[in-house]
Structure 1
Amino acid sequence: MGFLTDTTHMHIFTWVVGIVLFLVAASMANGTKGKKITHMILRLFYVLIIITGAALFFKHMTIDSMLYGIKFVLGILTIGFMEMVLVRGNKGKNTGLMWILFIIALLATMFIGFKLPMGFNFFA
């Protein structure tokens, strides 16, 4: 399992692909076969994001740093808001609030992720 926990490359790859697939699925017309297929592939990437994130979480989490747990919860919330935007959009319901919550959760998750010891040092 070293390929999952030695670096963050696999995790970053999965969430970047997940965000791209989410934006593609959100921009497609409702009820199309392509949107359904894209949504199902995106759900596969949700699972991959959670697996790679959990592997990093359990390997690098220490009792001293609560940020790993906070990032884990924010990551799950981000995935939840992504799914809620797509499902509510398919049902024809208003998605404005879900988009706002998704963007806030995504930015908070990325900020904490980059501040962690394994993250990039953008905020030095």
Structure 2
Amino acid sequence: MTHLHITSWVLALILLALTMMFMNKGSTKASKITHMIMRLDYLLILYSGGDLFASYTNYGPGVIIKLLTGLWVIAAMEMIAVKKKKGKATGIWWGQLAVSVLLAIFLGFVVLPMGILP
């Protein structure tokens, strides 16, 4: 399940980049399609993350913090796409995305037991 979770996160970030690229070019149809696919990818992220959360419940509050951080990442990605579509400023949301992604990666790979470090 970990591989599905990581793959879906990478796919979501790629889809966000594609959505932004299409919005910058003015291609509304392509940006709408990639945004909808990104929203479907959120379901994979939530499913795989929920399964990982259920298997990590014995590891204390770090798991809950990771869950909230992951939701923060999804919210920041969605707000970037929606604000950009409406023509509003997205700078603060890009900052939040950067902080939340780095925090989620740190918690997932370093703090939680199934990460890279033992």
Task: With the length of structure 2 as denominator, give the TM-score of the two structures.
Answer: 0.92
Counterparts of 1:80 and 1:31 in 2: how far apart (Å)? Answer: 24
Partner residue, 1:120: 116
Pairing 1:12–2:40 present? no
Residue deviations 1:18-72 (CA, integer Å, cap 9, x gap): 111111112222461000000000000011101100001011221x421111000
**Would the aligned equivalents of 1:82 and 1:102 in 2 still touch at CA under 8 Å?**
yes
Q: Which of 26, 36, 43 is equivalent to 2:32?
A: 36
Q: What's the RMSD between the two structures over aligned residues?
A: 1.3
SS of the residue 2:47 aligns to: helix
Task: Show the 5 A alignment for 1:82-93.
Answer: 82-93=77-88
Instruction: Name the one with the larger helix percent.
Output: 2
Question: Where do 5+ consecutive residues of structure 2 fail to align?
Answer: none
Task: Show the 5 A alignment for 1:1-124.
Answer: 4=1, 8-29=2-23, 30=26, 32-62=28-58, 64-115=59-110, 116-121=112-117
Counterparts of 1:61 and 1:16 in 2: how far apart (Å)? Answer: 25
Count how many residue pairs are aligned between Structure 1 and Structure 2.
115
Question: Where do 5+ consecutive residues of structure 1 fail to align?
Answer: none
Counterparts of 1:50 and 1:100 in 2: how far apart (Å)? Answer: 22
Runs of 4+ in 1 over 4 A off after TM superposition: none
Counterparts of 2:107 and 2:62 in 1: how far apart (Å)? Answer: 7
